[in-house]
Amino acid sequence: MTARARHTFVSECGRYVALPFGDDCAAYDVVELATDTVWLWGRYKPTGFDDKDRRYTHAEFPRMVSGWSNRGQRRGERWISAFDLSFVDADMTLPIERFSGNVATRRYEAAFRRAIPRSHTRRLAAWQAIVAKAEADYTKEQQ
C-alpha cells in the first residue's frame, strides 16, 4: 500500500472529503460535509468482460464514484499527491452502456489537493463511521 492511499483529502471547494478505500491508491469514498451524503467507490471486483453479476452490469450503489484522475507531481525528491474525482447519482434500474454515462442522473466533480493531517483522528473516525453506515444501508437494501 502506498503512502498516498493512507491520506484523507479535502476538496479545493471545501465541500467534500475523500476517504481512502481498500488497497488501491486510486480508490476513495466521498463524503459531503454539509449533508453527510456518501458516494461509494465500487466494491465488486469483476471476473472479466463477460461477467453477468448485477453489480457489474448495473450501478452497484445509488451514489457512486465514477472516475479518478491523477494530478500528482514530483517536486524534487518529494511526491505531491493530488487528484480529481467524478461521482454520480445513479439509476440502478438501467443496465450500463459502456462509456455512455447512461446511468448517471446527476454528476459531481471535485479536485482534491490537500491531505488532512493524521492528527485529526476524531474527525476521520466520524467520517469513516458515516461511510460504514452508508455501505451497510446499501447492503441491507440489496438483500
CB 96 within 8 A of CB 84: no
Cβ(58)–Cβ(1) under 8 Å?
A: no
pLDDT band at 3 (very low <50, low <70, confident <90, very high): very low
CA-based end-to-end distance of the chain: 32
Cα distance between residue 78 and residue 76, in whole Å: 6
Tens of pLDDT, residue by residue over 60-88, are: 999 999 988 888 877 788 777 889 999 99
Q: How far apart are CA 119 and CA 106, in angstroms?
A: 34
Q: At 16, list the grid cell.
A: 467534500
pLDDT, tens digit (0-9, with 9 covering 90-100), for 81-133 = 889 999 999 999 999 888 888 999 999 999 998 888 777 778 888 898 999 99
Q: Place 41 in a pLDDT band, splitting at 50, 70 and 90.
A: very high
pLDDT at 4: 40
Long-range contact set of residues 30-33: C-beta below 8 Å, sequence gap at least 24 = 30/65, 30/85, 30/87, 30/110, 31/127, 31/130, 31/131
Predicted local distance difference test score (pLDDT) of residue 6: 62
Check pLDDT > 60 for residue 18.
Answer: yes
Q: Which sequence spans correspond to the domains of the chain?
A: 3-142
pLDDT of residue 46: 84
